[in-house]
């Protein structure tokens, strides 16, 4: 077989079971592709020894006929996941040298299912960013370019390394995490599928925390079927995460019939934002036509508090981050600043955190500190949490009215050039279509649907009812079949 | 809402992040821009609305209050910048 790195999870699974190839062969092909792709900045810690070992064990399991679906599948793991004995830095200087003594629940489950780890993937520092430009490792780069223009584009963020690696066929799939859009926006920017599950579907244990009430891990894959297969292995109840849901996990892949006749798809009028590029408007209209042609009923809906989602997010997420990141104090792990004569413990904290955190992380920790401080708690933090209640009620109302899924654009533009977006607030607006989903705890999926005039991929987002990822994946599967998106970036790296 | 350099200094102190004096005006400017953005929330009528505490209406799980883990001193100290005699070591705290 040629081009083993281009296989989907489903194709690789079937080929390995038939004996047409082995995990060792696919893993080696990926390791070779990674070696030649340094220019993408996607893999930041390489684990070829672990990969080779895991592939060997996977091949033995497949041979014995005892192989789960993910067995032998080579993956990239976002640097936010703690992996035992392997650097896990959340792309931050403050976790320089940190090698966890434990394994996150998600990676434990994936490895127990036989998956192979190729290495750790680049991201925005502590998952705070939408362009992968806040990473201590330097930028991750989008494998796509605008026509013949060689301007370097962002793969999005925060899961930028995951997006770049999957789109460039360096791995078969990758883990991502999504606090405000960090799986779906990068997936849309590189033309792959990215799923954020319902809050509580996937355990957060062992994932470096950013905003605990919003964070959720999910798969970033080459197609919808692969997201179903990989989600199956990642999710389930975990006693180590008190917000992990003790609910039965359905067979997600079996739900993919592609039949959406009689489903009701809502089109929220508030997502038609000012200055929306015409190409995004057209993409959305095309998506609506595809759903209608597939037999779905299209209904205009209203989610009146949409406009307030981003400002609420930029109170709640920094507030939670300021609390979560208090643990980086130079005492138990990671970086400690060199101290001057006479420096006490306060100087140690202050210098360590000034040296270890990048500018965006410092900014958010301080904004979070401010909105939680005496005198401002009610005006900012409590008000934002009330608005969050209203945003969730908006969704509950339309779901109660019979809406099965909601179709929106995934991002307000195609991938932009690295260094193009300097203003923090302009950068925050990238998440305008995705952040409501985190605030309401819902599942959302980005699916590639078309190319813009410059040849860059564009995606649409589908939002589902809580815990109904199976149904959501099936609607996404139908959209994928109708869109027939098969474009790949041409190799320049 | 405009944040002055004194407020910026106080917030940096509360967050335990050292910010040099010459950086404070720029930081205050950034805070002001972000808070202006957040001010939009004042347009929303939140009268009688409960602040969200949990996005999924589930009761946190409980378990028996028993020891389930422990005896991991070496693992706990493994990543410490300075560990001595089985403890984390820090600069002098009490005079």
| A203 token code pair | 């355990």
pLDDT of residue A46 exceeding 60, the answer is yes
Asked if B34 and A367 come within 8 Å (Cβ–Cβ), the reply is yes
Strands A264-268 and A297-301: parallel
Could you give the CA distance from residue A219 to residue A237 in angstroms, rounded to a whole number? 17
Does B53 map to a domain?
Answer: no
Asked if A315 and B38 come within 8 Å (Cβ–Cβ), the reply is yes
Does B73 map to a domain?
Answer: no
Active site residue A130: no
pLDDT band at B1 (very low <50, low <70, confident <90, very high): low
Q: What is the pLDDT of residue A166?
A: 98
| A338 token code pair | 């060199």
pLDDT of residue A430 exceeding 70, the answer is yes
Residue B60 touches chain A, beta carbons under 8 Å: yes
Residue A70's contacts (CB-CB under 8 Å, 6 or more residues apart) are: A9, A13, A110, A113, A114, A115, A229, A230, A233
pLDDT of residue A309 exceeding 80, the answer is yes
Q: Give the chain B residue nearest A361 (alpha carbons).
A: B17
Q: What is the pLDDT of residue A275?
A: 82
Query: Domain of B31?
Result: 5-42
Over residues A14-20, the mean pLDDT reads 97
Could you give the CA distance from residue A176 to residue A162 in angstroms, rounded to a whole number? 7
Contact B44, A390 (CB under 8 A): yes
Asked if B55 and A345 come within 8 Å (Cβ–Cβ), the reply is no
pLDDT of residue A422 exceeding 80, the answer is no
List pLDDT tens digits, range A153-187: 999 999 999 999 999 999 999 999 999 999 999 99
Active site residue A92: no
Q: What is the pLDDT of residue A2?
A: 65
The angle subtended at Cα A410 by Cα A408 and Cα A416, nearest 5°, is: 145
| A148 token code pair | 């013949």
Contact A207, A106 (CB under 8 A): yes
Could you give the CA distance from residue A166 to residue A186 in angstroms, rounded to a whole number? 11
Window B:3-32, CB contacts with A under 8 Å: 7-8, 11-12, 14-19, 27, 30-31
Cis ω before A158 (30° cut-off from 0): yes
Window A:44-73, CB contacts with B under 8 Å: none
Question: Which of the following is catalytic: A23, A78, A88, A92?
Answer: A78
pLDDT band at A439 (very low <50, low <70, confident <90, very high): very high
Does B14 map to a domain?
Answer: yes
Burial class (CB in 10 A: 0-12, 13-18, 19+), A360: middle
Q: What is the rounded average pLDDT for all residues in chain A? A: 96
Residue A161 touches chain B, beta carbons under 8 Å: no
Does B47 map to a domain?
Answer: no
Strands A193-196 and A216-221: antiparallel
Could you give the CA distance from residue A479 to residue A476 in angstroms, rounded to a whole number? 5
List pLDDT tens digits, range A226-284: 999 999 999 999 999 999 999 999 999 999 999 999 999 999 999 998 888 899 999 99
Which chain A positions have a beta carbon within 8 Å of B19's beta carbon? Answer: 354
Could you give the CA distance from residue A99 to residue B83 in angstroms, rounded to a whole number? 16
Residue B68 touches chain A, beta carbons under 8 Å: no
Look up the ipTM and state it: 0.96
Q: Give the chain B residue nearest A95 (alpha carbons).
A: B79
Residue A331 touches chain B, beta carbons under 8 Å: yes
- How does A256-286 read in b/e, with b if 16+ C-beta sit within 10 Å? beeebeebbbbbbebbeeeeeeebbeebbeb
| B30, B56, B61 member nearest A199 (Cβ) | B56
pTM strictly above 0.90: yes
The angle subtended at Cα A166 by Cα A162 and Cα A170, nearest 5°, is: 105
> Beta-carbon neighbour count of residue B14 at 10 Å?
16
Could you give the CA distance from residue A47 to residue A52 in angstroms, rounded to a whole number? 9
Over residues A434-438, the mean pLDDT reads 98
List pLDDT tens digits, range B36-76: 999 999 999 999 999 999 998 878 888 899 998 899 999 99
Contact A370, B31 (CB under 8 A): yes
Q: What is the pLDDT of residue A429?
A: 87
Contact A80, A205 (CB under 8 A): no
Does B9 map to a domain?
Answer: yes
Active site residue A158: yes
Contact A180, A440 (CB under 8 A): no
**Residue with tokens 């990048």, as numbered in its chain:** A358
A65: left (phi over 0), alpha (psi -120 to 50) or beta: left
**What is the crossing angle of helices B24-38 and B5-14, to 10°?**
90
Which chain A positions have a beta carbon within 8 Å of B16's beta carbon? Answer: 326, 329, 346, 349-350, 353
Domain total in chain B: 1
Question: Which CA distances in Å does A116 have to A52, A60, A71, A302?
Answer: 8, 13, 8, 44
* A14 CA: distance to closest CA in chain B (Å): 37
Q: What is the pLDDT of residue A79?
A: 98
> Beta-carbon neighbour count of residue B71 at 10 Å?
7
8-state DSSP, A215: -
Could you give the CA distance from residue A381 to residue A376 in angstroms, rounded to a whole number? 7
Contact A417, A152 (CB under 8 A): yes
pLDDT band at A66 (very low <50, low <70, confident <90, very high): confident
Could you give the CA distance from residue A186 to residue A365 in angstroms, rounded to a whole number? 24
Range name among A32-46, A351-365, A421-435, B73-87 with the lowest pLDDT average: A421-435
Residue B50 touches chain A, beta carbons under 8 Å: yes
Asked if A200 and B56 come within 8 Å (Cβ–Cβ), the reply is yes
Could you give the CA distance from residue A251 to residue A98 in angstroms, rounded to a whole number? 37
Q: What is the DSSP string of A144-158?
A: --STT--PPBP--SS
């Amino acid at each position: 077989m040629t081009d083993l790195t281009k296989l989907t999870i489903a194709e690789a699974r079937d080929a390995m079971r038939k004996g047409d190839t082995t995990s060792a062969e696919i893993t080696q092909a990926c390791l070779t592709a990674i070696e030649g792709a340094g220019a993408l900045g996607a893999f930041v810690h390489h684990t070829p020894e672990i990969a080779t070992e895991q592939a060997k064990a996977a091949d033995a399991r497949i041979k014995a006929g005892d192989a789960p679906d993910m067995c032998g599948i080579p993956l990239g793991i976002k640097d936010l996941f703690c992996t035992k004995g392997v650097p896990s830095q959340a792309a931050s200087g403050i976790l320089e040298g940190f090698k966890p003594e434990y394994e996150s629940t998600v990676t434990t489950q994936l490895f127990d299912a036989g998956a192979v780890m190729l290495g750790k993937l680049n991201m925005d520092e502590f998952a705070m960013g939408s362009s992968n430009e806040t990473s201590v490792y330097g930028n991750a780069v989008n494998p796509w370019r605008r026509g013949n223009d060689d301007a370097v584009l962002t793969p999005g963020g925060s899961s930028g390394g995951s997006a770049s690696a999957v789109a460039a066929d360096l791995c078969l799939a990758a883990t991502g995490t999504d606090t405000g859009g960090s799986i779906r926006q990068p997936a849309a920017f590189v033309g792959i599928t990215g799923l954020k599950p319902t809050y509580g579907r996937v355990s957060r244990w062992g994932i470096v925390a950013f905003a605990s009430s919003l964070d959720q891990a999910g798969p970033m894959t080459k197609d919808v079927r692969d997201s179903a297969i990989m989600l199956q292995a990642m999710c389930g109840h975990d006693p180590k995460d008190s917000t992990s849901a003790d609910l039965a996990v359905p067979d997600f892949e079996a739900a993919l019939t592609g039949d959406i006749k009689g489903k009701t798809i809502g089109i929220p009028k508030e997502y038609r934002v000012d200055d929306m590029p015409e190409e995004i408007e057209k993409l959305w209209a095309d998506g609506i036509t595809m759903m209608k042609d597939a037999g779905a009923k299209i209904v205009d809906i209203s989610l009146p508090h949409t406009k307030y989602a981003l400002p609420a997010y930029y109170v709640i997420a920094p507030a939670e981050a300021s609390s979560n990141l208090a643990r980086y104090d130079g005492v138990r792990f990671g970086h400690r600043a060199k101290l001057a004569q006479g420096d006490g413990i306060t100087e140690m904290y202050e210098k360590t955190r000034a040296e270890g955190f990048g500018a965006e992380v410092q900014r958010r920790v301080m904004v979070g500190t401010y909105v939680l401080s005496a005198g401002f708690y009610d005006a900012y933090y409590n008000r934002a949490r009330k608005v969050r209640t209203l945003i969730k009620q908006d969704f509950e109302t339309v779901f109660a009215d019979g809406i099965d899924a909601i179709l929106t654009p995934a991002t307000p533009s195609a991938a932009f050039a690295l260094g193009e977006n300097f203003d923090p607030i302009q950068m925050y607006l990238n998440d305008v279509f995705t952040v409501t989903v985190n605030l309401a705890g819902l599942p959302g999926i980005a699916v590639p649907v078309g190319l813009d005039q410059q040849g860059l991929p564009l995606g649409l987002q589908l939002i589902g009812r809580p815990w109904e990822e199976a149904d959501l994946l099936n609607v996404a599967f139908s959209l994928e079949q109708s869109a027939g998106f098969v474009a790949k970036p041409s190799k320049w790296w | 809402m405009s944040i002055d350099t004194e407020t910026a200094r106080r917030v940096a102190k509360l967050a335990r992040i050292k910010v040099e004096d010459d950086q404070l005006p720029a930081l205050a400017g950034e805070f002001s821009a972000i808070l202006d953005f957040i001010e939009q929330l004042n347009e929303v009528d939140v009268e009688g609305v409960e602040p969200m505490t949990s996005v999924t209406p589930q009761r946190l799980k409980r378990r028996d209050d028993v020891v389930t883990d422990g005896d991991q001193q070496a693992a706990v100290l493994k990543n410490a910048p300075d560990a001595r005699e089985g403890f984390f070591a820090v600069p002098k705290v009490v005079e």
